[in-house]
Amino acid sequence: MFEEPFRWMEAISTRHSYVREKLQSGQPVIAVPYQNGALILSFSPQPGKIFEVYDRIAMGGLGHPADVEKLRMTLLDMAHLEGFNRSSQDVNLARLLQFGIAPSLKQNFEEVMRAPYLIKLLLLELDRDGQPNFFRLNYDGYWETLKNGGAIAGDEKAMEWIDKKIEETPFATFPLEKALAQACKFWQEGKQQAAGDEEKKDDDPEAIITLKKVFEKWSLEVAVLCAETQRKSIYRTIDSREIEKLKAAVL
Amino acid sequence: MNSSQDQIQSSGDFFDLLQRSGYRLHSPLENANAGEKLVLTQATTVLAFHYKDGVLMAGDRRATAGNSIMYERCEKVIPIDDYSLMAIAGVPATAFEMARILSHNFEYFRRSQMQPMSTEGKIRALSRLLKDNVGMALQGVGAVSPIFTTYDLRGQKTLIYFYDILGAEFQIHTHSATGSGSPMIRGILEHENLWGKKPLAKRNEAEAIKLAVRLLQTAALFDSATGQARPEDKLFPVIAKVTKDGYHFFPEDEMAELFKKSMSRE
């Protein structure tokens, strides 16, 4: 198999199909800037999609929980060792991705006898000037920067739709409450796009995905990186009182 | 991912992670007898006591090596996490390194395990570092005797722990002081607590700060390794509090005013 380039390429192509199929049902995760920082959110049947990585870095993931956990721990280890051995100011996402997990992920993906990672990650940081940076990391190690925020989703159509909407919205000028409400709406609309809810509107209105149904069934996870804090770690999860306020605003 | 990362390592122990990465808290000192010849940078008078709102922690700013004054702006009260402070006495090189390890340890645990480390775990973590440092301490090149203060979120109370250089931990219910200047003020602290106008634990913030400033000035009068405040150079002791809201350091401009008030006779 390894002597024949075509067989290797075929195997890689099959792996892409396999991973995409496995990720298909992954719920969208959205990260956008707001007036005083950046936020990341997702709805999911069980909590465990949004995490703190380092003082000014957060991540959201979808895919197999064990794989997300492996990469989360790898990022944590790398960030904390770097922060200890040098300085917390030397820890940033570009370095963690470019020199850290992206090459390893690529290598892992192309070693066809090893199980591929079933993941997509969305990473964000507030740099020392208070500017948010967003990155999307794919299961094969490919990563890209997202200027004004972005999304990951198992369904490519939903992801592209949310990305486009985020690009058109001046999130960086919004206060937190408004940015949160808007991001929730995009989450819902992205899901609807993927599910083809437009067509269902007349035939079966009950089947349409709404935020009301999602709030009832699932939990919302939101975290912010807020520049307006004296604490070293600027990561903060939104508490239940703030979520209730958000619900009142969007439902 | 490399082979070690293929297995999920989620003990949340940063010190273990450091050691796996090749780090050693101290270099081996075989046949060195270093302590006999070296003159090491040392310090200090630091103290902590319970007052009405929590714990007040204070320290002078001088670092010495033998009879030489090496540095006059040393920060001997160090933040470890949002609710914990460590006051150091002994060899700063080791003490600062321990503080950095501890700080990373608490944060690494909180992030990796997605829950804060228990208060007992935090107290034990410092004890473990001191125990690992026994060899250096006994060779005379790395002795550290810290005071650790933390707010216990579960028990909703502020705690003070004193450690000896071997790592034994002692919970302190009233007051503690360590460093070369501490013998001069421990008696005063006890006297104030027993026969002062109020017990230490009932004093308000202003009263607690006044006492801390006066104690450090007294220690500096008798101990050459403890530095006096020098208002003309904007050099004041470090004073911080730990309460239910976390730690807070009193900034320099506030300290200037507090120092002035503390030095006047009532």
Q: What is the pLDDT of residues B88-120, one digit of tens each?
A: 999 888 999 999 999 999 999 999 999 999 999
Give the mutation candidate from A52, A80, A85 for the B interface (greatest B CB count, under 10 A): A80
The CA distance from A216 to A122, in Å, is 25
Give percent of chain B above pLDDT 90: 75
Is residue B7's pLDDT more than 60? no
Please determine, for residue A35, whether its predicted confidence score (pLDDT) is greater than 80: yes
In total, how many domains does chain A have?
1
Per-residue pLDDT band at A205 (split at 50, 70, 90):
low
- Rounded percentage of chain A residues whose pLDDT exceeds 70: 95
pLDDT, position A105: 96
CA–CA dist A222, A239 (Å, integer) = 9
B111 to A52: CB separation less than 8 angstroms, yes or no: yes
pLDDT of residue B265: 86
Mutation site for B-interface testing, chosen from A81, A121, A235 by largest number of B Cβ within 10 Å:
A81
Residue B14 to residue A84, Cβ atoms within 8 A: yes
8 Å CB contact between B96 and B45: no
Q: Is residue A14 part of a domain?
A: no
pLDDT at residue A130 is higher than 70: yes
Q: What is the pLDDT of residues B147-156, one digit of tens each?
A: 999 999 999 9
Quick: pLDDT tens for B201-255. Answer: 999 999 999 999 999 999 999 999 999 999 999 999 999 999 999 999 999 999 9
For the cut 50, the answer to whether the pLDDT of residue A79 exceeds it is yes
Mean pLDDT of chain B: 90
Q: Which residue from B minimizes the CA distance to A105? A: B1
Q: Supply angle C-alpha B40, B44, B45, rounded to 5.
A: 165
Q: Counting beta carbons within 10 angstroms of the beta carbon of residue A48, is it exposed (0 to 12), middle (13 to 18) or buried (19 or more)?
A: middle
Under the banding of pLDDT at 50, 70 and 90, the label for residue A1 is: low
Range of the domain at A90: 26-250
| pLDDT of the residue at A251 | 85
Query: At what angle are helices A240-250 and A176-195 packed, to 10 degrees?
Result: 60
Q: Is A240 exposed, middle or buried (0-12, 13-18, 19+ CB in 10 A)?
A: exposed
CA distance B260 to B252: 12
Chain A residues with at least one Cβ partner in B under 8 Å: 51-55, 66, 69-71, 73-74, 76-77, 80-81, 83-85, 101, 104-105, 108, 231, 233
Instruction: Name all contacts of A67-71 with Cβ < 8 Å and 24+ positions apart.
Output: A67/A117, A67/A118, A67/A119, A68/A119, A68/A121, A69/B8, A69/B10, A70/A117, A70/B1, A70/B5, A70/B6, A70/B8, A71/A101, A71/A105, A71/A117, A71/A119, A71/A121, A71/B1
Task: Please report whether residue B14 resides in a domain.
Answer: no
Predicted ipTM? 0.91
Please give the mean pLDDT across all residues of chain A: 92
> CA of B2: which chain A residue's CA is closest?
A104
Q: What residue numbers bound the domain in which B152 lies?
A: 40-263
Alpha helices in B90-181 (DSSP H): 92-113, 119-132, 134-138
Residues 6+ apart with CB under 8 A from B134: B165, B166, B167
CATH number (domain holding residue A95): 3.60.20.10
What is the pTM (predicted TM-score) of this model?
A: 0.90
Return the residue matching tokens 């540095």: B71
- Of the two residues B78 and B29, the one the predictor is more confident about is B78
Provide mean pLDDT across the span A68-94: 96
CA angle B46, B49, B53 (to 5 degrees): 130
pLDDT range class, residue A199, cuts 50, 70, 90: low
Q: Does a structural domain hold residue B244?
A: yes
- Inter-chain CB proximity A80 and B6 less than 8 Å: no
| Torsion angles phi and psi, residue B171, rounded to 5 | -75, 135
Amino acid, single-letter form, for residue B57: M
pLDDT at B28: 62
Position B3 confidence tier, pLDDT thresholds 50, 70, 90: very low
Which of helix, strand or coil describes residue B199?
Answer: coil
In a domain, A92, yes or no: yes
Alpha-carbon distance values, B3 to A104, A140, B7, B11 (Å): 11, 18, 7, 17
Q: Is B44 a catalytic residue?
A: yes
Amino acid A42: pLDDT: 96
**Res A202: pLDDT:** 62
Q: What three-state secondary structure class fits B170?
A: strand
Both tokens of B218, joined, read 């007294």
Q: Residues of A with CB below 8 A from B104's CB? A: 80, 83-84
Q: Residues near B105 by Cβ (< 8 Å), separated by ≥ 6?
A: B13, B14, B15, B117, B125
pLDDT tens for B174-187 read 999 999 999 999 99
Judging contacts by C-beta atoms under 8 Å, the chain A residues touching residue B17 are 77, 80-81
In which band, very low, low, confident or very high, does the pLDDT at A117 lie, cut at 50, 70 and 90? very high
Given the residues B44, B45, B119, B178, select the one marked as catalytic: B44
* Chain B residues touching residue A104 (CB < 8 angstroms): 1-2
- Quote helix, strand, coil % in chain B, to nearest 5: 40, 25, 35
Which of B225-257 are b and which e, b meaning 16 or more Cβ less than 10 Å from the residue's Cβ?
bbbebeeeeebbbbbbbbbeebbebbeeeebee
Cα distance from N-terminal residue to C-terminal residue, chain A: 56
Bridge partners of residue B235, in order along the sequence: B230
CB contact, 8 Å: B152 with chain A? Answer: no
CATH code of residue B91: 3.60.20.10
In a domain, A172, yes or no: yes
Q: Where are the alpha helices (DSSP H) in A119-175?
A: 156-168
Q: List the single range of A206-210, A214-218, B253-257, B258-262 with lowest mean pLDDT.
A: A206-210
- What total of structural domains would you count in chain B? 1
B12 is a domain residue: no
d(CA B151, CA A178): 35
Q: Judge whether residue A237 has pLDDT over 90.
A: yes
User: What is the pLDDT averaged over residues A88-94?
Assistant: 96
B2 occurs within a structural domain: no
pLDDT for res A198? 60
| Alpha-carbon gap, residue A136 to A30, rounded angstroms | 11
